[in-house]
Amino acid sequence: MACRVLVALLPVVALLVAPVRPSAPVVAIVAAGSVLWAVLPELAAGPVVLLSVMAWWALAVPDPVRPSILVAAAALLSAHVAGLLAAYAPARAAIDLRLVRTWLGRGLLAFVPAPVLFLAVVGLDGSPDPPLMWPLALAALALITLTIGLLLREQPARPSPQGRARSVDSTRS
Amino acid sequence: MSEWTPTPALGRATVVALVGSVGAVVAGSPALAVLAAPFVLPAVLGALGRPGTAPRLLTRLGLTRLHEGQGTTSTLEVTDLEGVEQVTRVLARTPYVVAVPPSGALAVPASPIEASVVALGARRWGQRPVGDEQVALTSAWCGYRWGPERLPAQQLTVWPQAEAYDSTAEAPQPDGLVGAHRSRRVGSGTEFAGIRPFAPGDRLRRISWPVSLRTGELQVVTTRAEQDASVLVVVDAVRDIGVSAGVDGRASSLDLTVRAASALAGHHIRRGDRVGMRVVGPGHARVPLGSGARHLHRLTGSLARVLPATAPMKNETLELGVRGGCVVYVLSTMLHPPLVTATALLSARGVSVVVIDTLGERPIEEMGGRTSATGLAWRMRMLERAAMLERLAALGCPVVPWQGPGTVDVVLRQQSRRRQLPQVRTR
């Protein structure tokens, strides 16, 4: 239940930490989407809400590269992790604390690129763009996309080589 | 057949990472790059963690037969857990079966698999389908999911509570060869019956030498024979009145009936008597007379399968199939006229019948109060029932409410005394 509450709240928090105040309709739309996402964590509302907040930051916030953007990034990532934990089981199920601890660690690890990128952007701010920077970034993205696309292809699952060996036995051994 | 499919979480991370990164490059927006960066690692590592196995899922109950109040476990067995990080089990709720965790749903790490054990406790007798559940396996970084796969329910047979019951009364009509009940006839038992002059055929070890010396002629001690009894337990499953709250809570009328039948059957089997059972209700189950632990198993198994009638039963004449020399316990609410008639006929035939009233205390508030339509109807029904029970008692058929140990002691002793008097029977 706590995970679902976080899913409903954190995208709105990511909006409210911005240096400019978001308009009421934007907050309402994001809040409604977040609640929908919290109720049905497997629904496509999740990416829509996250991308909406990111788009608002990119379009509506003048000079968005400030420390508050890291708070927004952390809030969006936390909402994603909370949604993921909420989707593990129905709302009536209690999530195992070991899983929560695992995902806290993973969340912190996943967050590392954000401050690195932030510092890089702040460091490069004011200097002229290298001529090959954006084409190289585009090529790197295309490579990543291709790799992920290949990995995400449907693969037929192969049968277990161990037959019907009980997992209990294997874990004991 | 299930297969590993990408989870919505992997899709979400991938879409946000890709759209954010592409948007950042296309629009030249560093803010989008910073916001999308934390989603890259979950997307990549989730996509890389696809297991290549096809696990098979199976659940197993620790016990498939147990008494109400006892517990068992439901264990998940998975073939080949390679690449599986997390297990989700969601059990369907079953009436009168409690689970630990109470929600019946859990999401735990896959290793060790023993962490996914669900404890189950049976709160009421009967046949309980448990283990109807959905199981899902998730790979590392929540990238792929196997299932949810539905696993079929298994039947859990819950016997009535093994209530401690004991009775010191003897059966009024012992009719077997050997047993624990004192017979009216003289035989080779241990209970003293009297002293009489020696007759040809008497065993020498029966001679009472002190009495013989005093009287001047040989006297022998006589003892009473010891016999077993035939006991028929009639279970009224025509109606279940009241709401059952399980083994520790309030009991419905059928709860009282089944638990009392189990206690009586167990008591008489332990004493070496032959016990039979007749269920008046759906199925009309009959268990012939028998003795021994195996037969008790059969009796309790039949009790666990008792179901109350859901449709009104016809008022047809009941034949309980009782032969002479049998003690009949009628466990009933005495609200089904054919059963009352059959009981009265048995009593008039000279059969030892004891009616055990299993209606229990039913507060009128349960019926909506004294002046509600249901309450009025209930009170009228209770008046009719009281008059019927009085007429039954006038026929010599005792009616006692079920109160656990010693419930039937007084009436059985009265019946034993009555058996020693001359009787006129209706044939």
User: What pLDDT sits at residue A164?
Assistant: 38
User: What pLDDT sits at residue B116?
Assistant: 80
pLDDT, one tens digit per residue, over B245-268 is 888 888 888 998 999 899 888 888
Amino acid letter, B62: G
User: What pLDDT sits at residue A167?
Assistant: 38
Mean of per-residue pLDDT scores for chain B? 83
pLDDT, one tens digit per residue, over A109-126 is 888 888 888 887 777 766
The first and second tokens of residue B73, run together, are: 């476990």
| Rounded percentage of chain B residues whose pLDDT exceeds 70 | 86
Confidence check: pLDDT of B181 > 60: no
Q: In chain B, which residues have their Cβ closer than 8 Å to the Cβ of A137?
A: 25
Q: Is the torsion defined by CA of A30, A31, A33, A37 positive or negative?
A: positive
Q: Is the torsion defined by CA of B117, B118, B124, B128 positive or negative?
A: negative
Average pLDDT over residues B174-194: 59
CB contact under 8 A, A76 and B88: no
Long-range CB pairs of A20-25, under 8 A, 24+ apart, other chains included:
A20/A60, A20/A61, A20/A62, A22/A56, A22/A60
CB contact under 8 A, A77 and B88: no
pLDDT, one tens digit per residue, over B366-420 is 777 778 888 888 889 889 989 988 888 888 888 888 877 767 776 766 666 665 5
Size of interface A-B (CB pairs under 8 A): 210
CB contact under 8 A, A92 and B103: yes
Query: Contact, B320 vs B284, CB < 8 A?
Result: no
Average pLDDT over residues B317-333: 81
Q: On the CB side of B182, how many CA atoms lie within 13 Å of its CA? A: 14
Nearest CA in chain B to A108: B38
CB contact under 8 A, B42 and A110: yes
* Smallest Cα distance from A24 to chain B, Å: 22
Confidence check: pLDDT of B66 > 80: yes
* Smallest Cα distance from B147 to chain A, Å: 12
Q: In chain B, which residues have their Cβ closer than 8 Å to the Cβ of A134?
A: 25, 28
CB contact under 8 A, A46 and B12: yes
* Smallest Cα distance from B57 to chain A, Å: 10
User: What pLDDT sits at residue A172?
Assistant: 38
Q: CA angle, B219 as apex, B213 and B221 as ends, to 5°?
A: 120
CA-CA-CA-CA dihedral for A13, A19, A23, A25, to nearest 10: -30
CA–CA dist B366, B385 (Å, integer): 18
CB contact under 8 A, A51 and B20: yes
Query: Contact, B36 vs B43, CB < 8 A?
Result: no
Q: In chain A, which residues have their Cβ closer than 8 Å to the Cβ of B108?
A: 96, 98-99
CB-nearest to A89 from B34, B54, B88 is B88
Average pLDDT over residues B122-132: 89
CB contact under 8 A, A92 and B37: no
User: What pLDDT sits at residue B422?
Assistant: 57
User: What pLDDT sits at residue B115?
Assistant: 74
DSSP labels, B370-426: TTSHHHHHHHHHHHHHHHHHHHHHHTT--EEE--STTTTHHHHHHHHHHHTS-----
Average pLDDT over residues B149-165: 83
DSSP labels, B200-216: TT--GGGB-HHHHHHHS
Using DSSP's 3-state secondary structure scheme, residue B325 falls into: coil
* Smallest Cα distance from B120 to chain A, Å: 16
* Stretch 137-196 of chain B: residues touching chain A, C-beta under 8 Å: 138, 141-142
CB contact under 8 A, B25 and A80: no
CA–CA dist B332, B295 (Å, integer): 23
Spell out the alpha helix ranges (H) of B28-145.
Answer: 30-36, 40-48
* Stretch 325-384 of chain B: residues touching chain A, C-beta under 8 Å: none
User: What pLDDT sits at residue A30?
Assistant: 92
Confidence check: pLDDT of A13 > 60: yes
Confidence check: pLDDT of A129 > 70: no
**pLDDT band at B191, cuts 50/70/90?**
low
Average pLDDT over residues A73-95: 89
**pLDDT band at B147, cuts 50/70/90?**
confident
**pLDDT band at A158, cuts 50/70/90?**
very low
User: What pLDDT sits at residue A168?
Assistant: 37
In 3D space, the residue among A70, A58, A65 whose CA is nearest the CA of residue A17 turns out to be A70
User: What pLDDT sits at residue A145?
Assistant: 60
More confident residue, B426 or B385: B385
C-alpha R_g of chain B: 33
* Stretch 40-99 of chain B: residues touching chain A, C-beta under 8 Å: 40-44, 47-48, 50-56, 75, 77-81, 86, 88, 90
Average pLDDT over residues B208-225: 86
Q: Among the ranges A64-68, A85-89, B223-227, which has the highest mean pLDDT value?
A: A85-89
Amino acid letter, B15: V
User: What pLDDT sits at residue A126?
Assistant: 64
Using DSSP's 3-state secondary structure scheme, residue B181 falls into: strand
User: What pLDDT sits at residue B47?
Assistant: 86
CB-nearest to B34 from A53, A117, A164 is A117
Residue whose tokens read 């030498």:
B209
Determine contact: A150 vs chain B, CB below 8 A. Answer: no
CB contact under 8 A, A110 and B6: no
Peptide bond into B398 cis (omega under 30): no
Average pLDDT over residues A17-38: 91
CA–CA dist B22, A129 (Å, integer): 18
More confident residue, B128 or B177: B128
CB contact under 8 A, A114 and B38: yes
Q: Sort B197 into a burial class: Cβ within 10 Å, 0-12 / 13-18 / 19+.
A: exposed
Measured between its terminal Cα atoms, the distance across chain A in Å is 37
More confident residue, A163 or A59: A59
Confidence check: pLDDT of B283 > 60: yes
Query: Contact, B38 vs A110, CB < 8 A?
Result: yes
Confidence check: pLDDT of B39 > 60: yes
CB-nearest to B107 from A76, A88, A170 is A88
